[in-house]
Structure 1
């Protein structure tokens, strides 16, 4: 195995371990938090949608994710799946 391939595998492992989509950060979410506070904690969301003052944003993928629903700019509900 070449050094380049080993370095790439090591980088992928480190990046996966540094994911902000984890149980520790999920436990820091609170109803009423500002959207900017959530993004400071989790980073930019992978996906957002919404209408009429309500929105929903998701971090992660289809197996491991955190989903946050907002009313205006404040957290209304949140959920997670597959968190470690």
Structure 2
């Protein structure tokens, strides 16, 4: 039982370390990128909302996140929070 707990804890630590929501990938974002290009870089968004051709998507959680605003299919603006 103890070994399973250690294995699970190790897996969780490795999973967190492999997050694509980081400073390195944030630095690769550019205005004009398509949604597909952004998702290839940082994965599927945690949430998206929008209306009338404008969409805002967020990756990450309350401590570490990247937010991207799209006009149509193109990145208009983006911001990051707590990135390492």
* TM-score normalised by length of structure 1: 0.98
Match status 1:71 vs 2:78: no
Root mean square deviation of aligned Cα = 0.8
* TM-score normalised by length of structure 2: 0.98
Runs of 4+ in 1 over 4 A off after TM superposition: none
Determine the structure 2 residue equivalent to 1:3.
3
Determine the structure 1 residue equivalent to 2:14.
14
Unaligned runs of 5+ in 1: none
Unaligned runs of 5+ in 2: none
Task: Classify the secondary structure of the residue corresponding to 1:77.
Answer: strand
